[in-house]
Structure 1
Amino acid sequence: MYPEAYIDYLAYFHGKRDYFECHEVLEEHWKKEGMQNGVWVGLIQIAVSLYHQRRGNVEGARRMMESAIKRLDGQKENIAALGLDHSLLLEQLKKRLSDITSRFPYTDMNLPVTDKSLFNECCQSIKKHGSSWGAMSDMDNDQIIHKHRTRDRSEIIREREAQKRRKNTAAE
């Protein structure tokens, strides 16, 4: 019923709290399938905001959370179709934005999943990775906290260079 990438997103979000992977799996899905009224992008922005907040990047966390709130505010039906409580989600995001702005320390959060079958499917996925729903962030795990530093960016760099070449060729 739900896309596999969305299940993976929720599993990374609520299990190992690997927000970088949340971003990666949902971005790949979003680029293949389209924006679905911006909901995928909004969910990605939530994960990116939490990734930044946990690392102490207050400005990046604030900008991403503000953008996620704006993007998801008018998406009640689309959010509900993803098994989430729209009102509660926006309430949580606004509270988190206030916490970020006030420079409160990072705390884990859970998205308000209302669909029991979605919740059960996510729990099964999380269990396969040796974690459980609502696990606390491992603040000593640099592989998760600072994941962007350890990833292989060669494909991204090649794609940016190819885009630059195409742009320069078109301008000539």
Structure 2
Amino acid sequence: MYPEAYIDFLAYFHGTRDYFECHEVLEEHWKKEGMQNDVWVGLIQIAVSLYHQRRSNYEGARRMMESAIKRLNSQKENLTELGLDHSLLLDQLKKRLSDISTRSPYTDMNLPVTDEGLLDVCCQSIMKHGSLWGAVSDMDNDQIIHKHRTRDRSEIIREREAQKKRKNKTAE
């Protein structure tokens, strides 16, 4: 019923708290499907905002959270179809934005999942990774906290160079 990438997103979000992976799996799904759906972008922005807040990049966190709120405000039907409580989610995001604006330290956040079946599937997925739903962030794990610095970016760099070449050919 739910896309596998969405289940992976929720598993990373609530289990290992690997917000960078949340971004990666949902962005890949969103781009592969060629969807113009603000709900996916909004969910990605929540994860990116939390990634920034946890690293004390409050300006980046604020921008992403403001954008997520703006995008998801009009996505009640889509969020409901994804098993999330729209009103409660927006309340949580506005509270988080306030915390970010006052430079409050990062705390973990759980998305308001209303579909028990989805929750069960996610919990099973999380357990395969050796974690539990609602786990506490491992603030000493640089592989999660500073993932953008520790990952292999060679494929991304190659793809950007290829896009640049395609763009230059088109402009000629």
Please tell me the TM-score bracket, short chain as reference: over 0.9
Gap runs ≥5 in structure 1? none
**Distance across 1 between alignment mates of 2:171 and 2:34:** 28
Between the aligned residues of both structures, percent identity stands at 85
Aligned pairs (5 A) from 1:23-38: 23-35=23-35, 37-38=37-38
* 1:15 partner SS: helix
The AA in structure 2 aligned to 1:151 is R
Q: For this pair of structures, how many residues does the alignment match?
A: 172
The superposition leaves residues 3-48 of structure 1 with CA deviations (integer Å, 9 ceiling, x where unpaired) of 1100000000000100000000100100111335311110000000
What's the Cα RMSD here?
A: 0.9
- Which residue pairs with 1:118 in the alignment? 118
Whole-Å separation in 1 of the counterparts to 2:36 and 2:98: 28
Q: Segments of 4+ in structure 1 off by > 6 A? A: none
**What's the offset of the Cα at 1:78?**
0.3
CA distance in structure 2 between the aligned counterparts of 1:167 and 1:34, rounded to whole angstroms: 19
User: Taking structure 1 as the reference length, what is the TM-score of the superposition?
Assistant: 0.98
Instruction: Provide the rounded CA distance (Å) in 1 between the counterparts of 2:84 and 2:36.
Output: 15
For the Cα contact (< 8 Å) 1:12–1:18, is it kept in 2? yes
For residues 16-55 of structure 1, the aligned pairs below 5 Å read 16-35=16-35, 37-55=37-55
Q: Secondary structure at the match of 2:137?
A: coil
Please tell me the residue identity of whatever aligns with 1:157: I
Gaps of 5+ in 2: none
The 10-residue stretch of structure 1 (31-40 or 119-128) with the greater mean CA deviation from structure 2:
31-40
CA pair 36-7 structure 1, distance change in 2 beyond 3 A: farther
Residue-by-residue CA offset, 1:121-163 (whole Å, 9 max, x unaligned) = 0000011111101000000000000001111111111111111
**C-alpha contact 1:5 1:26 (8 A) present in aligned 2:** yes
TM-score by length of 2: 0.98
